[in-house]
Structure 1
């Protein structure tokens, strides 16, 4: 009969995930948890009731797939904690809800992010855990994990390239060396493997946003002290930056993606009836189109466009002459059609013969990108979208807006050379107005990417090559498969040392 010591050694790893309260953070964290659960780990996602509803369909599908295929003994659980009462309206528990609320609500929301510490501490005290995987925005979780003797891993939902750029920015603040009055001034980020330059207008200005600067500085300090960082990426995509991150910056990285490849077949069903209707209607429309003839347009869940911008996107799609799927989402202003230029509605009026298909609400993005009719993807360069495009071998028209998106554009367009920039120049939050980019410029970018020209041919060739490498990374023996195993082995070895230490009479 096994002793208690032996039984503890044989238990599967238990990993706690604490993702930030926004879809772009919640969903990839659930996908990463699915990857570890498929390898036998027990994973728990700690979140609030509203945010649990966002990830529950993905968690249920992952658990169902593991049971169906017998891929290990792992399971994903959702543990609920109350959203702190900070004076926000009922049900406002997610960053997405703030886009239509006042600025003071955003301050209250970030206050709630700090108050989550209390239920987090309680969970750590009540459960035997082998690791905590928490969002970089929860910087306080680093000290909490140390207090409970649990290794903390960071999850950011971005690229190693962007993290390296951000570290350079925080370390040197190169904006201090450029003229504040010249938004077009080029700013070089020092100490990186490639020459990376951005316009001043494309970067967060610490002088104008001292609170945000201090927030990122605090997060970065906490992340540096953590056990390591988990990335939805793969070594072959950004090898120079993995080396830079680990050797030059001295930080521990585990690349476990593209997680979309581990879960994309689970996206066959949406979370509700309307989602399934959108999926069926869109895929039937795509089935009628020739190979590589459609551009997919989607800017994620948090991006908002003004009516003038929506009108220019419409004009650009029309002028490009390409078939298109446009995922408009549920954002303010999209429910009306007043922004549509004359004749645009006719492009999507007849689903069978139309040049365009508009999706309002949830869009089956992974299925769209993997459809044979797809030839290009116009994206805001959120990392989840970039990775899904790379995994599917689809080249990109890049249109960054804020956060890490301008860094990701640099990686896509200048380092990987799998995209064409639309020329966005201004860094601004989803709640702020952006520079209007004309329809002619948008059309030119689409045609440069998808046309029969030397540039388009080179981009498509490189994108296809990366798609093959992405699939290989997730297969047994691939780089990401190996990194998942390496992390699990390190955590298991740490547990064995801890158990042996206690068995020998240690405290």
Structure 2
């Protein structure tokens, strides 16, 4: 009889097929694989190539025809994407999971010890329950945003009903934070206001299913969210165990990220910490008036910049003028964000505060000009600006209002070189040191990861010995 510690855990991984969700989950899979865990990852034709850089023990699982061609990286509403992905994969994945648990060839090594799926894949919870397998929720967002989002669907707070100053409070989270209604996730606002369409119920069910899971694995770390991690168990996550294992991307940077020598060479010409790196992520495109305000502010402040503009519409002539003056570089398409943020010349990150961007700036020690627009970004910006105090707010209005150009220019100057921003810059450096320590072997995040692996090993051992997976709760304390 194999001891629990000798069992090689086999984990079924179900990503949400959008790059910002899937890549961190695959990075976590690689970390687990490096500790002896075997992983089977659900892949689609649109996402299978992302597994190529990961260890051989991270194996793809694809399904034929229409069930494998869904890609959630496009512009469709989240609710519709969740519903479509579940409709495509629920039946074949449920069948595969049941077969893996009830194999007749006597090979217990292929039995799944746990399901690890993205928090937009709540539909995997009943599949795992039917197969007698515990499910762990992977949260690609921070713990504040994860707890607050689940709180919304757990408590179902009401709508403003004409009250322009209405704010939603989160009394069960440390500090009882409150956010104006316009800063609450559009997913919940659409659901609460009754115009979320047929995807609204899918979103609600998704998050309520997550609260039935065995626990949460969160891409965060103690230096960034210590207040929330120290408060565990969180009522807003149904008191479930949370493993804080971040940042999962290459510990403190993605060494496998493709290099862009042109960007590096351009940055090499500038003094240390003098350039602003601008990016609103791959999915968030600032409206033309917002982009124009930022372009004017960069001109007014005289701050050299690299702008990963994707498909953003910039003012006529702005890009050419900046290039001719040698003061700015506009990148269309893929941009080497992690590498650029770690370049010595970059002294400010103008960002929408998507969680991956927050983690990358924290790891690089770069202060932030925070411009949240939607989704979880207002929660993340609160951590950056008000809690860690490694950034300054460009605007809290999101898409609702265009910030004043003079205010943006002053904020840029403050963060990059201003005397008032000296403390922000020093705290950003200190945060980077803390994040590096947390992500190093023996650091807090790696201890959490090792505790998670130990739980998976015990689950695998119990499966080999035909123990009931409902006893998962007895090993959550690791």
Does TM-score exceed 0.5, indicating one fold?
yes
1:114 maps onto 2:87 in alignment: yes
Is the CA contact 2:9–2:459 (under 8 Å) kept in the aligned structure 1? Answer: no
Provide the C-alpha distance between the structure 2 equivalents of 1:170 and 1:83, rounded to a whole number of angstroms: 34
> Structure 1 residues 316, 119: CA separation in 2 closer, same or farther (over 3 Å shift)?
farther
Q: Name the counterpart of 2:21.
A: 25
Q: Name the counterpart of 2:460.
A: 495
Provide the C-alpha distance between the structure 1 equivalents of 2:65 and 2:24, rounded to a whole number of angstroms: 21
After superposing the two structures, state which structure 1 stretch, 434-443 or 462-471, moved more.
434-443
> Structure 1 residues 258, 8: CA separation in 2 closer, same or farther (over 3 Å shift)?
closer
Give the SS at the match of 2:222: coil
Q: Name the counterpart of 1:96.
A: 73
Provide the C-alpha distance between the structure 1 equivalents of 2:62 and 2:416, rounded to a whole number of angstroms: 46
1:349 maps onto 2:324 in alignment: yes
Give the superposition deviation at 1:202.
Answer: 1.5
Is the CA contact 1:84–1:116 (under 8 Å) kept in the aligned structure 2? Answer: no
1:372 maps onto 2:338 in alignment: no
Provide the C-alpha distance between the structure 1 equivalents of 2:383 and 2:442, rounded to a whole number of angstroms: 26
Q: Deviations over 1:175-202 (max 9, x none)?
A: 44xx433444444332221142222222
Is the CA contact 1:164–1:241 (under 8 Å) kept in the aligned structure 2? Answer: no
Is the CA contact 1:311–1:341 (under 8 Å) kept in the aligned structure 2? Answer: no
> Structure 1 residues 17, 349: CA separation in 2 closer, same or farther (over 3 Å shift)?
farther
Provide the C-alpha distance between the structure 2 equivalents of 1:401 and 1:226, rounded to a whole number of angstroms: 30
Give the superposition deviation at 1:415.
Answer: 1.6
Q: Name the counterpart of 1:88.
A: none
> Structure 1 residues 38, 415: CA separation in 2 closer, same or farther (over 3 Å shift)?
same
1:386 maps onto 2:382 in alignment: no
Provide the C-alpha distance between the structure 2 equivalents of 1:475 and 1:132, rounded to a whole number of angstroms: 26
Q: Name the counterpart of 1:69.
A: none
Q: Name the counterpart of 2:233.
A: 246
Task: Select the residue among 112, 134, 138 that pairs with 1:151.
Answer: 134
Is the CA contact 2:8–2:460 (under 8 Å) kept in the aligned structure 1? Answer: no
Give the superposition deviation at 1:83.
Answer: 6.4
Task: Select the residue among 367, 375, 385 that pairs with 1:403.
Answer: 375
Give the superposition deviation at 1:375.
Answer: 0.8
Is the CA contact 1:413–1:421 (under 8 Å) kept in the aligned structure 2? Answer: yes
* TM-score, scaled relative to structure 2: 0.86
Give the SS at the match of 2:117: strand
Is the CA contact 1:183–1:201 (under 8 Å) kept in the aligned structure 2? Answer: no
Q: Name the counterpart of 2:255.
A: 266
Provide the C-alpha distance between the structure 2 equivalents of 1:9 and 1:490, rounded to a whole number of angstroms: 10
Q: Name the counterpart of 2:436.
A: 471
Task: Select the residue among 284, 307, 310 that pairs with 2:288.
Answer: 307
CA RMSD of aligned residues (A): 2.7
1:181 maps onto 2:162 in alignment: yes
Give the SS at the match of 2:12: strand
Give the SS at the match of 1:348: helix
Q: Name the counterpart of 2:413.
A: 447
Structure with more contact order per residue of length (Cα contacts < 8 Å, sep ≥ 6): 2
Is the CA contact 2:7–2:458 (under 8 Å) kept in the aligned structure 1? Answer: no
Give the SS at the match of 1:98: coil
Which structure 1 residue ranges, 4+ long, deviate > 6 Å from structure 2? none
1:80 maps onto 2:62 in alignment: yes
Is the CA contact 1:84–1:115 (under 8 Å) kept in the aligned structure 2? Answer: yes
Give the superposition deviation at 1:344.
Answer: 4.8
> Structure 1 residues 175, 398: CA separation in 2 closer, same or farther (over 3 Å shift)?
farther
Give the superposition deviation at 1:19.
Answer: 0.9
List runs of 5+ in structure 2 lacking aligned partners: 101-109, 469-478
After superposing the two structures, state which structure 1 stretch, 153-162 or 192-201, moved more.
192-201
Give the superposition deviation at 1:313.
Answer: 2.3
Give the superposition deviation at 1:256.
Answer: 1.0
1:236 maps onto 2:223 in alignment: yes
Q: Name the counterpart of 1:322.
A: 303
Provide the C-alpha distance between the structure 2 equivalents of 1:230 and 1:394, rounded to a whole number of angstroms: 26
> Structure 1 residues 380, 261: CA separation in 2 closer, same or farther (over 3 Å shift)?
same
Provide the C-alpha distance between the structure 2 equivalents of 1:475 and 1:366, rounded to a whole number of angstroms: 18
Give the superposition deviation at 1:282.
Answer: 0.5
> Structure 1 residues 151, 136: CA separation in 2 closer, same or farther (over 3 Å shift)?
same
Give the superposition deviation at 1:312.
Answer: 2.1
Aligned length: 450
> Structure 1 residues 240, 108: CA separation in 2 closer, same or farther (over 3 Å shift)?
closer
> Structure 1 residues 219, 243: CA separation in 2 closer, same or farther (over 3 Å shift)?
farther
> Structure 1 residues 253, 314: CA separation in 2 closer, same or farther (over 3 Å shift)?
same
Give the SS at the match of 1:358: strand
Provide the C-alpha distance between the structure 1 equivalents of 2:132 and 2:155, rounded to a whole number of angstroms: 33
Is the CA contact 1:114–1:138 (under 8 Å) kept in the aligned structure 2? Answer: no
> Structure 1 residues 310, 394: CA separation in 2 closer, same or farther (over 3 Å shift)?
same
Provide the C-alpha distance between the structure 2 equivalents of 1:24 and 1:17, rounded to a whole number of angstroms: 16
